[in-house]
Amino acid sequence: MCLVRVLAQNNIEPQVSVKITDTISAVTISAKEGQQIKILTDGKKILVNKIKFSKVHNGDSTYTVYPEDLEEVKGKDKLKILPLEPSNLIFVNEKPYRGEITLLISSQGFTVINSLPLEDYLKGVLPLEIDPQAELEALKAQAIVSRTYALANLYRRHNKNGVNFCATTHCQVYGGAEVETPTCNQAVEETQGIVITYKDKLAEEVTYHSTCGGCTENNEDVFTSTPIPYLRSVNCYEATDGKKWYYCGNSKVFQWVVKWQKEELDTAIENYLKSKNKWNDKEKFILKNINILERGISGRVKKLLITETSGKEFVFYGQEIRDVLNFNTEKKIGQKLWSCLFYLTKKEMGGKEYYLAFGWGWGHGVGLCQMGAIGMAKIGYNFEQIICHYFLGVKLRKEW
């Protein structure tokens, strides 16, 4: 049991910076109607309601930043823009953000960075990382996992760009104030400063996925990393009267089937190999055999051997297997396989050869199963019980 909470360390909530745009050629920054934003440059303050920045090359290597009438911004490579009242929102191309904006200006264009307190950042993450309609206790569990993940990754991912995070799945998806919902905000506020620890240290490797499909996986069987004590395979069900009740059983991808006609699978594998420069032959890739060489403790495929008719062999490990066995849906060409927890069979139907994958779950399967967390919350478990179920031997600690 992990329900011992070590209280307050009196740490200070960190400020985080998030790169919210790629380099773009123009950007509009504004306040709500009747409000103002403050542009800081060389100790001067410029107050405006709305300002559009665009950039014009002067025909040589120099460029001019417009608005033309603002002499102060010319030649600057960095501008800080704040709302007049700290609690006001600031709009970037009409999208609202909390905190402050830094505009980086280069000959390539403008890059927009949003700086704000970590708790406010989480409010713009939570609704995009889990179903915002989920039960409050599941949202709280996700808030704690996202907070722990963010704190552990503050200086790990974008150090050389001078920001903490990007706004995509590479870090955590962040949508600013526009995506906030009252329940997700409540989940962040009611767990303020709470993080996951293991042996009194921040659990730096916490991770999550959509649906485990019945059982999570040991981290080393999915990622090429050393075993982490709290990332062990755990069951995602409870048994009553000899019947298993799966916590993530309500997920649309709890169980799935993917079907390829032989030629479709040939093309899917060829496309993947080409994208990795592993198949440069002019000839078409024709699959001879697929062999599952190794499975992890939960049954997830760990090592896969693909043999081409010419005799060429390709070995794949862990999550790459999902990319290799991609398939086409109505919405997406080259959708990666939902998970590595699957069986593969070959079948003849109507004179054609088919490959079928019968599988469970969606995602890598390590750490918190989000649909499982929602399932546990539905039958009355609280956020501590949920977190301690998926992360073995951890404790929660309030940092601020």
The footprint of Zn ion (CB under 5 A) covers: 212, 236, 248, 369, 372
Comparison of 318 and 372: residue with beta carbon closer to Zn ion: 372
Tokens of 195: 């993080």
Nearest to 97 by CA among 122, 111, 116, 78: 116
Comparison of 29 and 340: residue with beta carbon closer to Zn ion: 340
Q: Least CB distance from residue 216 to Zn ion, whole Å? A: 7
Q: Least CB distance from residue 275 to Zn ion, whole Å? A: 30
Q: Least CB distance from residue 389 to Zn ion, whole Å? A: 10
d(CA 178, CA 174): 10
Tokens of 68: 């033309």
> CA-CA distances (angstroms) from residue 132 to 125, 126, 128, 139, 308?
10, 7, 8, 7, 45
Comparison of 182 and 380: residue with beta carbon closer to Zn ion: 380
Comparison of 149 and 254: residue with beta carbon closer to Zn ion: 254
d(CA 269, CA 288): 12
Comparison of 187 and 212: residue with beta carbon closer to Zn ion: 212
Comparison of 25 and 250: residue with beta carbon closer to Zn ion: 250
d(CA 122, CA 164): 13
Q: Which neighbouring-strand residues pair with 115?
A: 17, 100
Instruction: Give one DSSP letter per residue of 33-53, joined into a string.
Output: TT--EEEEETTEEEEESEEEE
Q: Least CB distance from residue 332 to Zn ion, whole Å? A: 24
Comparison of 165 and 254: residue with beta carbon closer to Zn ion: 254
Q: Least CB distance from residue 213 to Zn ion, whole Å? A: 6
d(CA 235, CA 367): 11
Tokens of 320: 């790459």
Comparison of 210 and 319: residue with beta carbon closer to Zn ion: 210
Residue 102, SS3 per DSSP = strand
Query: 234 CB contacts (<8 Å, ≥6 apart)?
Result: 215, 216, 389, 390, 392
Comparison of 83 and 363: residue with beta carbon closer to Zn ion: 363
Tokens of 38: 């403050």
Q: Least CB distance from residue 241 to Zn ion, whole Å? A: 21
Tokens of 4: 């011992």
Comparison of 245 and 343: residue with beta carbon closer to Zn ion: 245
Q: Least CB distance from residue 259 to Zn ion, whole Å? A: 24
Q: Least CB distance from residue 253 to Zn ion, whole Å? A: 11
Q: Least CB distance from residue 76 to Zn ion, whole Å? A: 51
Query: 85 CB contacts (<8 Å, ≥6 apart)?
Result: 35
Q: Least CB distance from residue 248 to Zn ion, whole Å? A: 3
Query: 98 CB contacts (<8 Å, ≥6 apart)?
Result: 89, 90, 114, 116, 120, 123, 124, 176, 177
Nearest to 112 by CA among 16, 15, 14, 23: 23
